[in-house]
Each structure stands twice: as structure tokens, then as C-alpha cells.
Structure 1
């Protein structure tokens, strides 16, 4: 792990075939990070130890086109700048969150640049910490692969982490899983590995709550939030009802 305050923009120019780079940022270190990667078009994996940084400045410019994996590491990963990953240029992105405690807002997932297919992995630990609370707001903006101007969550890797079992944090999980199963567990997709879907879903169903031994999905079900999308957008029926009420009020006013 390189742990330096600043380096010249051309320092990595003699490494055009570099595929993975691990750096430590935060506390004013490497705020010119993207400019360092100008001469590294082959870079596929960028790993950052955040040290509490919001990543507001570090990734402001377009990232290398082959960069498909970003790992964020730290004792606590929270309060990330909503547009921290807006400069992603790859259509496919794997986001690894290795932390003692993780809290990611929905705004981050609404600003993933050109990414269309997303894998989220929160299974990794930071140091000896493996028991921290995980809060991941809804990353879902599409329930079908290939939906324009949206990101499809292709895979979740939860590991043995413990989650906040409330609708506002993980309420989206049940609805995503149902749609994922419908999209991915078709005979065509499972032809090479017929057991994949059942095994994968079994693993996801083992995820547990942080404040109890309850299973995540069962807890969300009892709270009636398995259909919760986590989106700030109101359901289309809301517009219909609102319009109907408004038109009725106008009509009554005109009649009176």
C-alpha cells in the first residue's frame, strides 16, 4: 500500500500496463488522484483506504475506461460524497466495501457515471473488525437488465456481516431479490450451473440483523417492508390519485 501525501502527475506514466493500484487517501493526501491515472489505461482495480475521506475531490475526473472494480477500505465508511463515483466510465462496476462499519446513502448509487451493471460486495473485513453495522440504502434504479439510464444490481455479496433490519436501510432487499430471481434464474441463464440460483439465494437468506439474531429477510417481512423500493420517487398511482383529487376540487369550485 502506497501511503504518501502527494506525487507528481507523471509518476505512474511508465506503468501503462498497471492493472491494480492500492493507495491511501484522506487527510489532504492525493487529492489529484485521477490525474495520476491518465497514463494507466489498463487499470482494472483501484483500491483506496479512505481514512474517513468523503472522496469529494479525489475522483473528480473521468476514470480509466477499463476500471471495473473499486474497493473502499476503512474502519468506518460513511458520509461519502454523493457524486464520489460519478466519473466511472465502465459499463460494469464492482464496488467492494471493506469496513468495520458501513453506511452508504442512495445518492451514491444514483451517480455512478456510465455504469449499468453493478455488483456490491460488503463481505470484506477491515483489519480485525468483522462485526460492524452495515447500512446500505437502496442501490436499485432498475429491475430489468438493460433499462436505459439506470443501474441494474447484478449481484450482492453479503458475507457474514450484520445489517440494519429496517425498511429505510435494507427494506429494498426483498423486492430486489424477487426480481433478481425472475431475471437471472431462467433455464437459459442456469444451463451451465443449474444449482447456482438455489445456492446463491440460500446464502443471501442467511444474512442476519445487527441488533438481534433474526434473519434479515424474516425481520423485513415482519415489518412489512419486503416490497419497499427505497426510492424517493412516489409510486405512479400517487400522481393519479393526486390529479383526481385536484380535478374534483376544481370541479366542485366551479359548480359552486
Structure 2
């Protein structure tokens, strides 16, 4: 059974593909899947189901949600080949199964490999990790506060992998290859100087000084308008390097 959560949430068992629809039971099962084989406290599940404000009788109501979730699991795996089981385990519940292929777990393993000191290993792992993403994590669902926090962490880890990949390209002198990813990262994170600085460097070292200067001025304008502050010394040093090289030419 393969379950994807880094994009549209789907369950594939054999030739049958089930697209998960937004509902309380779906959020409950996804939260259990993210932490499968581990006990998820009932309090955490209640926080997710009732959007951070569970009622006094939430724990009792949670039992009804769990019963519905157990029936839903049987729809995913009617032949019981994956042996999906939702266990009651103090102080909450635990989801187990055989042969589960979860894209989140693959991403976590590749995330670690992308930090390897071996540039070939790191680049291959980073590219494989990014290829797992087919959109925004938990796409199509309505994450509550707990899944929302996990979603935010996953998106940050994805950005870290993209940053690692662009750093590898820059270190290898493949500056032009790094520009598209860095341009998108700047668009997604306009107030993060890490991406601006690398984009300026990539433009400069790929023989596009005018584009590098334009990228610097856009960054400066964004920082002033949104944060009321000038670029950092590191970002200003990028500008100075471009100007100094222009004088030598």
C-alpha cells in the first residue's frame, strides 16, 4: 500500500486509488499516519479535530470518530493485505500496518542523505526528495492546528533541500542551473536574505551582472518596504563585489 501526503492525499492499494477527502476522520487518520507505529495522544487528536478548542466531552466524542475511522480504513484495504489496524494505546491511539510505503518517510530519509558531505550522494538525494512533492503537503485537506504545524515544518524542510541543492550547484560552478530554483525561492520567501544572496551570486557568476544588480535592488526594496531596514552587510558585500568587478573590466 502506497500513501502520498506530499501533494494530493491518496491511498493506492493494487490498482485501486483512493483520493482522501477533507473531513475530521481524514485528518485523524493522516495525523496517525504521519506518526504511524507511535502512540498519538488523545489530547493531540482532539486538538486537531476541534481546531484547537476541544469541548469538555471531547475525549468521549473522540471514540466515535475513531470508530468511523476504523470503518474507513477497511475501505482503503478491503482485502486486509496491509493489515491496517487502529489500536487503543494509552494515552491515545496507534496506527500500524504491513508494507506501508509513505512518501513522508521516503522524504525524511532522503532529507538526511541530502546533507551528505559527498556532493554526488547529496545532489542525487536532494533531487529524489524534491521529486516526491506533487504540490503542497496535505493538499485538498483542511489541516487543523496540529497538522498545520506539521505542514509548516515539512514546507521548511523542502525549502532546506532546495537550498542545499542550489548550494551544491553553486559550489560546482553550475551557476546558471541554480537560477530557476533560486528565483522561485525568492518569490516564495521574499524576506529571507539567504535566497536573495544566492540568486545574486548565481546571476553574477553566470555572466549576468545586470540581472544580479536588478536582483539586489529588488531585494533591497522588498526589505525596506516590508521590514523598514537596509540589506545586511553580507548582501551589501554581494553588490560591492559586482561593482568592483565592473570597475576592473
Range class of TM-score, shorter chain: 0.3 to 0.5
State TM-score, norm by structure 1: 0.33
**Bigger relative contact order, structure 1 or 2, given CA contacts below 8 A and separation 6+?**
2
Q: Relative to total residues, which structure has the larger helix share, 1 or 2? A: 2
State TM-score, norm by structure 2: 0.33
